[in-house]
Structure 1
Amino acid sequence: MIDLLIRGGQVVTPEGVGAWDVGVDGERIVAVAAAGMLPAESTRVIDATGKLVIPGGIDPHVHTGWPIPARDGSMTVSAGPGQVSAAALCGGTTTLADFAIWEPGMSLAQAIAKKQEVWREGYTDYALHVMLQGAVPHEVIAQMPEAISAGFPSFKIFTTDVRPQGKGRMIRLGHLWAIMEASSRHGGILSIHAEDDDLVMYMYERLEREGRTDIAHMPLVHSIMSEDIAFRRVLRLARYVEGAAVYLVHVSSKAGTDAVAEARADGLPVYAETLHHYATFT
């Protein structure tokens, strides 16, 4: 059954680009066929002549309503799901993966429900990573299987506080090990922002002392060396946890890419994402 037919355009698929027709049933693409092969009777038809027809993009890493601490101690918050998802649709992105932030005193289910409520204003499909932080209590780690079963199998981890302001996000190696074990046993995956916190915080202090606080010096803080050391530490830990799936974010250097490639060559379920400015701002 087809209730929407898109025809006349250049259709982009994993196999290539061609002059095909696309059949949609409800919210699912159910057919891609040669031009004229799908029935148009009693079907809504969109004429895409002269246009590209591309599946909706999936952005696996967005931060809506994200707290951003400033150097003076103040706090700003990034735009909410309504604004972010509307902007995403303008660029052809139809699914966003955001973060449900767990905080001390909350259950994982409460963190998820809190973020789901905010997403009522969103326009796109969405998914949620569950962000853990700090010294995560054993009883919260024990809730991970329930979250995975409920459809939230990915957990965000920071191995650094990222900046001197707003500390508390970093998860140390012992807790990371426990979280990784719980995740691997139940089919989860860890989305890890991996940097060496000692190096990051030392460089913030040093550059502040030297008066070099312009954004141009950011690569000296969030450095190739820090990425290399942290990636390899995380991936070495993953070798000790059978089936540990790891998704490394913000890959910004050849050193990080090499670490991921070596792990994948050894058959580990390791994945990575980058950002476009890492490929252009060098």
Structure 2
Amino acid sequence: MAVSFDEYLVVGISSRALFNLEKENEVFETQGLDAYREYQLSHEDEILEPGTGFTLVNNLLSINEKTGKKLVEVIVMSRNSAETSLRIINSLDHYGLDINRMAMSGGENISRYLKAFGVDLFLSSNEFDVSDAINNGFAAGLVYNTDQIYRTDNDQIRIAFDADAVLFSAESEKIFQEKGLDAFVKNEVENQDRALKKGPLAKFLLCLANLQQNTREYQLIRTAIVTSRDKNSGRRVLKTLRKWNIDVDEVFFLQGANKAAILKSFGANIFFDDQDVHGLPASEVVPSARVLYKKGQEPK
């Protein structure tokens, strides 16, 4: 009987988001495919260093071990060919990551396989693949690959989200971009009893909340919203979550203050934001990813 992924939280992650492949990617970008192939083959026995998404994946997989149940499935989804993927397999084995499913597209768009695997979240360093995933209705993030070595004091899964254009639609964000802060706050206060529409990562939050509820006795997952909204415009966020029947563990209304310090204190395994102005500083202290806008929905 074929395996069904319907009852798992399924995360698809590219090899470059899971491991540090920046040097290899530079070879590909500057010298071409043949040079990249030769480099990977000649370094096949060298173990790759952890990348931006490594801690998140490691902690997610630990849920299965701690609960004694198969609740999380992680799939490496790589543009590598079968021939150049052995180094990735060797690295998975070295770190003891319980990942046995891989999709290797040989340079083609990998996001076309998200539906086949029932992926709930897709993380990649390839902007085209992430954009294609978002446009096809999948939760996805463009990982910031940095030279930072991220450390956390616990093995909980801690995930933080921006609000507008991430968990919620970009409708209110557009008002801010086009009419300014006062118009934005006025709109949110006047419409505080009308739930915000779901954004690109709303479905993932729902899946995460369900998994959190099913493993509550183990206290494995903690979530946070870290938004530039103030408390007045934040009322709509809280009322929307209530209507969605979702409990988020921590909420921060920062009124435009820098998010990085809060995220570092929270100890996020990953933070999702829609803007580089927040995502880039955050990526200096915690693993971060940018949530791209759907085609035609970009704020001016």
- TM-score, length-scaled by structure 2: 0.28
More helix by share: 2
Structure number with the bigger relative contact order (C-alpha 8 A, sep ≥ 6) is 2
Largest Rg, 1 or 2: 1
- TM-score, length-scaled by structure 1: 0.29
